[in-house]
Every structure is written in C-alpha cells, then in structure tokens.
Amino acid sequence: MRLPISLLLLAALPFVRAEKTENTLFGKKAGETEKVVVTRVVEVEKAPGDKMAPAADKPGMEKEMEAPKDGMKAKPEMAEGEKAIAKPKMTEEAEAPKKPMAETEAKKGDAETKKEEVEKPKEEAAPAISPFRPAKSPSAKETRTFKLANLNRPLAFETTRELQRLFGVLTTQYVTDGTAFTKAPGPVTAIAYTILQDLGEHRYVAKASWPAVGEALPASTDAWAILLLDAEVKVGATGRMTGTHAGTVALDFTAKFSPIDGKTLTIRREAFVECKPIEESNANLTKFIEQVAQGGEFSVTTTERIGCKACNSLGYTREPQKGKLEDKRIPCTICESTGKLTTTTETKFVP
C-alpha cells in the first residue's frame, strides 16, 4: 500500500521538531537523534495498512505524533542510564589505586586531631601567673641617719638601746640566706595555710590566714593566697610559715578542688615567699654592725608615735581669759586631742 507524499511529510514533521527539542533539552548530537527517528519511522512503515487512519483523520495524526515523542524521551533516558551504570566501573578502576593514599591521609588526620586533643587539656591545665605587683610599703614622712660612730656619746641620738630596737624592727623587714643580708620585697608575717592545689615549681594555691603588718598588709582570715615555698608540700597539708608579702599576682588556672573542680578561673590574690627572718641575737647584731662598717647599706622604716609639737604633747592648747585664773583649753586638731602623732620614719645606718 502506497501512502501519499503529503502524508509522509506530515509524519516526518514531528520528528524534525523532536530533533530540535532533543538538542535543546538534552544536548545530544544530531546523529543520535537521527537514529531514533529512523527506528520510529521503521515502526510506522511496518504498521498494517488497515489500522492506519486516513490523512484527513486528525486523531490518528495526533497518536502518531505522541508515539515518537514518547520514544524520544525513552531513548535518551536509557542512554543516560547506561552511562550512569558505566560511570561506577570507570571510577572504581580509576580510584582503586588511590584508596591507600586516602587511608594514609585519613590516618594522619586522625593522629593530628588526637595530638591536638591531648595537647589542649595540658594547655588549659597549665597555670599562667602574671608578674608580681609591688607590695605596698608605707612611705616615710621623715628620714634620719643612725651613725655607728656616735654610739653612746653624750647628747647623741645613737644609743645601744635604740640600735637594738631598730635591729628588732629590721628582723621583720629583712631576710637572710645564711651568707649575707638581703632586703625582702615586702613585710614579713606568720602565715597559717592549707594547701589546695599544686601549680608546679613550688607554687601552691592555699587557703591562708595572717595578721596585719602595719598599713602595708591588712589581716586576712581564710583567704586564698599564692605561696612560693622552698620545699615541696603535698596537697591537703597544713602548716605555718614565715612569709614575705611579695605583692598581688593574677593567676589563671584550672581548679582541682571542690566546689569549683574542673573550672578555669582567673583570680587576683596575695602572693607570699617563704623566708627565714634574721634572729635577734648578739651574734647577728655584731655581724650587722660589721657589714655596716664595711659599707653595707641598710635602712629600716618604722611607724612610731611621737609627741605633738603644736600642743607640746598635751592634746590641747591654752588661751588666757580676762578676769579668770584658769586658761581656756582648746582641743588640738592636729593630734585629735591625743598628744601623739603617728609618723613613718626611715632610719639609715652609716659607719
């Protein structure tokens, strides 16, 4: 059965359109779409003639147009599926030799992360202590000189009793290492302590109590303090020491005692250095005099109560009144009616 030329042209028209849509949607080459068109055309030619509708029948034409479109969609999908199945084979063959390298890199990465995890807790646990802030020392209002050459001379300030008194004050402001006298950085006080945590290098966090030392160091009870001891002490140990106030220090550490166990804190606390004060003995006093004679420079700052010169140590001043035998007493405002003034004096020792 021969079909009219017009019918063949109308049948080929949808395939031309499919070529264009195929090229735009899937990006296929013209050769691939031609193969699809040829296969579908063959199917149309093989179809029996009695089932074919006349050229003027529009539903038949629509069916023929729908069939090639479905076929066009199915073929590229199959092509893509085939390529998708082929891709894993190529990747497996290509990536097969690269697996050992990936495993070694992963192992290296795991080892580095483990090292970082191990090092981080150490950095957090390591205490960081800022330098000491200078201890508060009372500023001297007056300065005087104690000359050993004038000792026990008539009308001289330098007497044996005064030397012993000043040397007694010196023992609370100087420390000795057994060979020579060394000036301490702050006032010396007796400290009762309980060790809470060992910070390394003989540094400890302690709960301590100490009495006041003049204006430089106020008294404290059950206060956190930083102790620098000469010997190692176990955590939880209690004891007493003679310590020199070295000032305040900022401490950043991870607590290992309740109730703040495991927490990282930054605190500012009093800091003390263990020391051995000079003993008040004749031997040490003789050694002290010899070192001063050899040119050693020593001074001691004392807080003393002296008589008020404005009221002549009476605590009041007198004002005469007319017609009365008794003078009017006016309280002294300088010494607050006590007759005594508190003064800080620095005494320097010279040969």
pLDDT of 139 reads 79
What is the Cα 67 distance to its own chain's centre?
75
- pLDDT less than 70: residues of the chain: 1-125, 177-180
* Alpha-carbon span 233 to 343, nearest angstrom: 41
- Output the CA–CA distances (angstroms, integers) from residue 325 to 211, 212, 321, 322, in the order listed: 51, 48, 8, 8
Closest CA to 240 of 189, 208, 204, 192: 192
pLDDT of 8 reads 54
pLDDT of 279 reads 85
pLDDT of 342 reads 85
| Cβ atoms of 67 and 53 closer than 8 Å | no
Structure token pair of residue 116: 């970082």
Domain map of the chain by residue range? 5-96, 142-274, 300-350
Give the number of residues written for the chain: 351
Query: Phi, psi at residue 341, to the nearest 5°?
Result: -120, 140
pLDDT of 208 reads 95
* Alpha-carbon span 230 to 204, nearest angstrom: 11
Amino acid at residue number 195: I
pLDDT of 261 reads 86
User: Largest alpha-carbon pair distance within the chain?
Assistant: 166
Closest CA to 197 of 205, 208, 189, 207: 205
pLDDT of 160 reads 94
pLDDT of 26 reads 38
Structure token pair of residue 41: 């055309």
pLDDT digits (tens, 9 = 90+) for 264-314: 888 898 999 988 888 889 999 999 999 999 988 888 888 888 889 889 888
